[in-house]
Structure 1
Amino acid sequence: MSTSAAIGSIQLLFLHAPLILLFVRNRFKIFFLLSYVAVAVFFFLHAQDKLTHDSHEVAQEDVYTWTSIHTIKGSKLRGFAISEGKQKWYIVYTFVSEEEKIKFLNQSLTDAVFKITGQITPVPWPAHEYVFDMQTYLTSHGAAGMLSASTMVQVSQPDGIIGWIANQRFLMEKHIDKHFPLSLQAEAKALLLGLRDDVDPKENRAYQILGITHLFAISGLHVAFLTYIFYQSLLRLSIRKEVAVWCLIVCLPVYACLVGGAPSVWRAVGVVEILLLSKQLHKRLAVDDAFAISLLIFIYLQPGVLLQVGFQLSYGAATVLLFSSPFLQAQTSVFKQSFWITFLCQIGVAPILLYHFYEISLSSFVVNLLFVPLFSVIILPINLVLFSLSFFFLSLTDFLFILYEPLRMALTSFILKLASIPNQLWNPGKLSNWQMVVAFIGVVATFFVLELQHAKKRLILTLGLPIAIIQGSSYFDSAIEVSFLNVGQGDATLIELPHRQGVILVDSGGLLRFDQAAWKLSGTPFEIGREVIVPFLKGRGIQTIDTFIWTHADSDHIEGAEEILEEVKVKEIHVTPGAIAENTLQHAVQTALAMKIPIKEQMSGSGFRIRNTQFTYVSPQDTTYEGNDDSLVLYLKHDLFTALFTGDLEQDGEEDLLKVYGGIQNINLLKAGHHGSKTSSSEAFLQKLQPGLTIFSAGQNNRYGHPNHEVVERFTELQLPTMTTAEVGTIHVRYEKEVITVRTSFKKNIKKRDLSQ
């Protein structure tokens, strides 16, 4: 709690008060109370000291030592390195040639020393509150900030024990690349070396849906399995038990470094080390004491680790198993024990999963019963044996691969088929603070019911009631909310109606991609739909889009559509006439047709109504698709609130719109046409609409100069307020009880306007 207070809010220190009162009530000795307070204060001050970096000034040229956390993708090298002043920095370097990239790919960088020339770069803001936050990532690894490196010159090769271990890991990775079939390489690297970068994204998503991604993380189960094999092998070599134990004490930390040192690995290794050392020193510790000591050591060495999801899940699941051991040991069969282990682990970490990923797998309660033993008892040993044999008996190994690969590919096909079954995820959205409290109360109550051996039917109350409260809370929200997502140089707007009556998505963003040399391309290109829009939908607890509107066929409005269709249920698609014949829409159209989603062409005069909200299409006026001026323009009216979403409408289209719909005026919200281009937002159009707030959806430092400075000046001269996603991030406009509230993701300011006055 003290470290959490140092990282987050100092108010968390008050959580110590109930514990201290409990200790006093139970008449704990004064020495214990003073010790508790002293330890709490120490960890708070220590965390503040470790996470507070005195100065972010850095020499333009300095010497840095690379850590094990780094990646090479496309033309970029990214990762953490430590300066001569012992500050950790996240460094981004762009290779100048393919030859330089190949040189870096063919060596181990961990513990290598480089002279780097560069400068501090601002930490990028997240697109919205539901995606990867770079600042949190830096804090979790104790980094001072980000550096953009312009030159890198190697000073020395990796040396010392850390460098040697890292080089062995690198050589083992290259050995797998050379001798394992391509289809089996990713799994072998993940299970044996803790390298998960090569896992196929579609397979990884299938594992997420089934709740079995943890099987590809080296966990306590892996460590226990390998420790047992190593120990038994030493005994069979006639090595005395005491010597074998000391060998374990020495080798386990080496193994932890060899497989990347993930929190789950160090947690398992740390507990075993502490238990073995206490036994050797004839001071036996209980497992829970060893567990607590390992936790304190971990937090002391790296306070920011509390922010890492892997740390939270690893220690969370281990805590559940540790304190549920009496209940688990009382089970009368292996099947019952396996079921309750799976059940308790899934329930115990559910609040953490919901907080970070906004969804949990419902099928995981059953699927893990099959896949945990399958991976632990069969697949992991097979990979270990094949890897070992590949050093000595290549012909035999190749023959075994011929037998194993088809079976493993059949299993992958089965997993993908299993993951394609709908409705396997519960997605209530990101939990608020009070919802987290409700979730934890439900978890604790469930454990009490099982521990006290109450009737299992009480689980319906301890689990069902919190689920109903969390799921049902969104239906009590009486506001309409419009969110302009920060998708860079593109458009994506989400409309959420009151009481979950409906969800409308207008466009899906996209990137303007340009031809590059093959060596500069990343193996997994950035997808705006999957990595920005889908997380926003999940974070809001949205599982279904009622109407998905494609305003026109430009890639910066439509490229993310295919990924959204694959991840979220869509009831129907509205598109401007003639656009579906455009090349840029073909992938999305084919995906929609394969999923039997109706695609309906709409134009001026058509529309639909959901309860008290009217949606009317006011452009285009004809069925001939010619580009921006044929954007499908949506007019929204809800109570006193009015909004116009114009796609890429330009001046000619604006004039045509006003000729037909001259009654549209004095609107509350306008999404400016064509990102604020000088060809849109004409003075006549603005004079007529008089928008209370206009949003420019544009990327930071975009090559087009959007929004155009002349257009911005036009709004200023007319005294019409504007906001740009490039400057303030995702923009939320909320209307409830005749009051409009505006908040943004970059600048956490909130503005209100009362429409009743």
Structure 2
Amino acid sequence: MERTSRGGLLSAGLGASLGVLGVLWSPLLLPWPVLAVGLLIVLAIRSWPRWPLLWCLLGASWTLWHASNLLDARWPAERHGEDVTVQGRIAELPLQRADHWRFRFEALPGEAVQGAVRTSWYFSDVALASGQCWVLQLRMRTPRGAVSPGAFDYERWLFAEGYVASAYVREGRPCAEAAPPPWWHSMRQHLDAALGRWLEDHPALDLARALTVANRNGLDEADWRVLRVTGTSHLVAISGLHVGLVAGLFLFLGRWLWQRSAWLCRQLPAPRAGLLAGTAAALAYAALAGFSVPTQRALLMWAVVALALWSGHRTRAWHVLMLAWLAVLAFDPLAVLGAGTWLSFLAVATIVLVSSERAGGAAVWWRIPRLQAALLVGLTPATLLFFDGASLLAPVVNAVVIPAFAVLLPLLLASVALAWAGGSTLPLTAAAHLLEWLRKGLILAAESAPMLWLEAVPGALSLLCAAWGAFLLLSPQLQPLRLLGLICWLPLLWPRPGLAPGVAEVAVLDVGQGLSVVVRTREHTLVYDAGPAWPGGFDAGEAIVVPYLRQAGVRAVDRLIISHPHRDHAGGAPAVGQGLPVVEHWEEGGTVCRHPQRWDWNGVAFEVLHPRQPARWQGNNRSCVLRVSAGGQRLLITGDIEATAEHALRAAAPDGLRSQIVVVPHHGSRTSSTPAFVAATQADWALFSAGWRNRHGHPHPEVQRRWKGTGAQTVSTGDAGSLEVRLGAGSKPALRAAREQRRIWRAAFRLPAAVD
């Protein structure tokens, strides 16, 4: 019977998971009739595969229903930029920056928008708070983000978080009549403000807010870098670890106190009283965190554990874990799109695996480091998948930090509760001092051993092989196969296949309204411009360029050329320099781009065509014009040159502009791409680096018609995502667009047919 139950749970978990993943990673949503036919076929099966297939179809159907509803509620692209008045509530602690607020705005039933809107309110002196009801005039935007290899998938994140649109506020007023918000909204807001008063100017205030009310707005990029390098980011995201610590503490505390009274024990057994106390504490802490999605998942996991313990039956940990996984999938199948879901369950699964009865018997002093090493092995494949790297420092740091954190978190929450009840704030100040010592220790560890962050972007097959190897290494029942487990990790160490001599890989990156082009040869990398960056906002160098270089296996940039010092081209340069070593940096004020600079990298020729006399040129017309030649194929990168520079180029080299591929000047502005210049290039492809539906209207329709009139195919990064092409590898360069890799949450795109 136990074996049947275990097999049924395994079939349910694996089948449902495959169904969920199959829908979410398919290029298109399956039509309902296909699932209905599949269900009929499965019901007709009488042999063993029936139940796994049935669970797979159930998981797929449930996910399809969730995804379809969310996609149907999305703000349509044809209404992008429309102004709509919406009444709704602020559903989280709003994030305040120097010039704007950002918050989750959930429309009330019956409004023009149905769902959550990621909203920004610029230059407002209104004090926003969680739970407030507002009537806002919103400039609506369909969910859209950059699509580039290695970069954060913003559209997937919006989809997984349940956002149906993004918007910014044009006008707003409080609701005239509105029902009071849920009690936890006002409680969180008041407690957040109170923490600001109690710990005013204390260096640990931001960390205390993150751990108490899940307000991580005060943590800056330097803080996140320290957490990433030390492998402790999970400490500041209230999730399973935090809820489990609080629930477990109150379970033991409640049981211990209940046992002091014989009369109470006759009314209710102490173990069950402890479970009720732990559950109440878990609910209270989740409310402090605003019932965020991670805390909801943690509550589900705790509920499964609590029910298993309440039943009084001896239940295997694997059964409880699988039931918790199925509960999460039933609650929100889109949760599998987030790294936190996988890391939480994999961490628990690793602990269960290495802590089984067959792995017992070791001394306590050996179990803790052994467990940390096991977590490193168990989580490394997932960490490489989601974060393009893994912290080798994490096991050592976490072996010290997690036990300390298990004491600090309850102490912090207890001191906050005491201060909230009107007692002394001295215990809270003492807890804050301990948090500050912890923060300083993490900073010291990160600065002492930064090289222990391993950056790697292995392929899907290598990660699957490593995941299987991790299971073989950790499973006590499979000890004879551990050598095979080590062998399964070897593909992670295999070097990427390099480019052949005389071949160049070129990428025009999707950096929004700006420009960044990466050219790689067998042994060298050139970055032409680094995209835009705005104070306190988007930085294409950090978000797009560096992730692309890392996923391509680039360890250093041999030459960074800034075509001209405008923010949409040069803004991301500092981030590129911080992310990777830069051997040579060509920019105004240092080594500048000028004709006739030439060089050869691995059989690929580079030549600067403009400017000939840099001092003569100003502004856009001073842009560096670079030609890349490989195997008889040419690529022309033109920066932001305008009509005057185009005329000078034609006059200096009438036949030297011919190129199969041209990165069109000035994002497709009407001030560039004169008819004579367009004709002189004789291009097969005209590539526009421009943001989707940008306020400048780039690329201008007239300019697109001009390029098409000469026989060139036109494509914009705003529509297609990052564009990649390999020069010198065939008779004609073949273009690839990032958006051609279709996902259900992503606006699709198809490249036009190549010119014959």
| Cα shift at 1:214 | 1.4
User: CA contact under 8 A between 1:78 and 1:90: conserved in structure 2?
Assistant: no
Equivalent-residue separation in structure 2 for 1:720 and 1:250 (angstroms): 66
**1:482 and 2:502 equivalent?**
no
Equivalent-residue separation in structure 1 for 2:679 and 2:60 (angstroms): 57
The residue aligned with 1:167 is 186
**1:361 and 2:387 equivalent?**
no
User: CA contact under 8 A between 1:428 and 1:540: conserved in structure 2?
Assistant: no
| Cα shift at 1:639 | 1.0
The residue aligned with 1:711 is 703
1:217 to 226, 233, 237: 237
| Cα shift at 1:548 | 0.9
Equivalent-residue separation in structure 1 for 2:423 and 2:94 (angstroms): 33
Equivalent-residue separation in structure 2 for 1:401 and 1:745 (angstroms): 48
TM-score (norm 1): 0.81
**CA distance change for structure 1 residues 751 and 349 in 2, over 3 Å: closer, same or farther?**
farther
SS at match of 1:453: helix
**1:619 and 2:610 equivalent?**
yes
**CA distance change for structure 1 residues 244 and 318 in 2, over 3 Å: closer, same or farther?**
closer
The residue aligned with 1:426 is 454
1:528 to 506, 524, 540: 540
Give the residue type in structure 2 aligned to 1:309. A
Equivalent-residue separation in structure 1 for 2:89 and 2:672 (angstroms): 52
Residue by residue, what CA displacement relative to the aligned partner does 1:256-283 show, whole Å, maximum 9, x if unpaired?
2332445654455434433333443433
| Cα shift at 1:220 | 3.8
Give the residue type in structure 2 aligned to 1:439. A
The residue aligned with 1:452 is 478
Equivalent-residue separation in structure 1 for 2:516 and 2:191 (angstroms): 44
Give the residue type in structure 2 aligned to 1:615. F
The residue aligned with 2:526 is 504
**CA distance change for structure 1 residues 458 and 85 in 2, over 3 Å: closer, same or farther?**
same
SS at match of 1:541: coil
Equivalent-residue separation in structure 1 for 2:136 and 2:645 (angstroms): 53
2:519 to 484, 495, 514: 495
Pairing of 1:57-456 with structure 2 (within 5 A): 64=88, 67-68=91-92, 71=95, 74-79=99-104, 81=106, 83-84=108-109, 89-93=115-119, 95=121, 98-99=124-125, 101-102=126-127, 104-105=128-129, 108-109=130-131, 121-142=141-162, 151=172, 153-154=174-175, 155-158=177-180, 163-182=182-201, 183-234=203-254, 235-236=256-257, 238=260, 240=265, 241=270, 242-262=272-292, 265-326=295-356, 329-330=359-360, 332-377=362-407, 379-384=408-413, 386-391=415-420, 392-394=422-424, 396-397=426-427, 400=430, 404=434, 407=437, 410-411=440-441, 413-418=443-448, 421=450, 423-429=451-457, 431-448=458-475, 451-454=477-480
> How much identity, in percent, do the aligned residues show?
20
Equivalent-residue separation in structure 2 for 1:65 and 1:416 (angstroms): 40
Equivalent-residue separation in structure 1 for 2:493 and 2:296 (angstroms): 37
TM-score (norm 2): 0.81
Residue by residue, what CA displacement relative to the aligned partner does 1:557-609 show, whole Å, maximum 9, x if unpaired?
1011111111122222123xxx22xxxxxxxxxxxxxxxxxx64442122322
Residue by residue, what CA displacement relative to the aligned partner does 1:539-567 show, whole Å, maximum 9, x if unpaired?
33333212111112222210111111111
**CA distance change for structure 1 residues 676 and 55 in 2, over 3 Å: closer, same or farther?**
closer
SS at match of 2:496: helix
**1:550 and 2:562 equivalent?**
yes
The residue aligned with 1:740 is 733
Equivalent-residue separation in structure 1 for 2:303 and 2:21 (angstroms): 26
SS at match of 2:582: strand
**CA distance change for structure 1 residues 708 and 612 in 2, over 3 Å: closer, same or farther?**
same
The residue aligned with 1:587 is none
More displaced 10-residue stretch of structure 1: 715-724 or 566-575: 715-724
User: CA contact under 8 A between 2:198 and 2:425: conserved in structure 1?
Assistant: no
More displaced 10-residue stretch of structure 1: 226-235 or 665-674: 226-235
SS at match of 2:204: helix
SS at match of 1:98: coil
| Cα shift at 1:663 | 4.7
**1:45 and 2:61 equivalent?**
yes
Residue by residue, what CA displacement relative to the aligned partner does 1:298-323 show, whole Å, maximum 9, x if unpaired?
21121211212211211122122222
The residue aligned with 2:23 is 6
User: CA contact under 8 A between 1:267 and 1:315: conserved in structure 2?
Assistant: no
**CA distance change for structure 1 residues 284 and 357 in 2, over 3 Å: closer, same or farther?**
same
Pairing of 1:664-703 with structure 2 (within 5 A): 664-703=656-695
Equivalent-residue separation in structure 2 for 1:708 and 1:44 (angstroms): 43
Equivalent-residue separation in structure 2 for 1:537 and 1:740 (angstroms): 21
Equivalent-residue separation in structure 2 for 1:718 and 1:387 (angstroms): 70
> What CA RMSD, in Å, does the superposition of the two structures yield over aligned residues?
3.7
User: CA contact under 8 A between 1:496 and 1:503: conserved in structure 2?
Assistant: yes
Unaligned runs of 5+ in 1: 14-28, 514-521, 581-598
Equivalent-residue separation in structure 2 for 1:707 and 1:724 (angstroms): 8
**CA distance change for structure 1 residues 46 and 403 in 2, over 3 Å: closer, same or farther?**
closer
Unaligned runs of 5+ in 2: 1-17, 31-44, 76-82, 740-747
Give the residue type in structure 2 aligned to 1:487. V
**CA distance change for structure 1 residues 700 and 342 in 2, over 3 Å: closer, same or farther?**
same
**CA distance change for structure 1 residues 212 and 532 in 2, over 3 Å: closer, same or farther?**
same
1:603 to 594, 599, 604: 594
| Cα shift at 1:60 | 6.7
| Cα shift at 1:174 | 1.7
2:639 to 612, 632, 647: 647
**CA distance change for structure 1 residues 93 and 266 in 2, over 3 Å: closer, same or farther?**
closer
Give the residue type in structure 2 aligned to 1:91. V
The residue aligned with 1:589 is none
| Cα shift at 1:209 | 2.2
| Cα shift at 1:179 | 0.9
User: CA contact under 8 A between 2:657 and 2:681: conserved in structure 1?
Assistant: yes
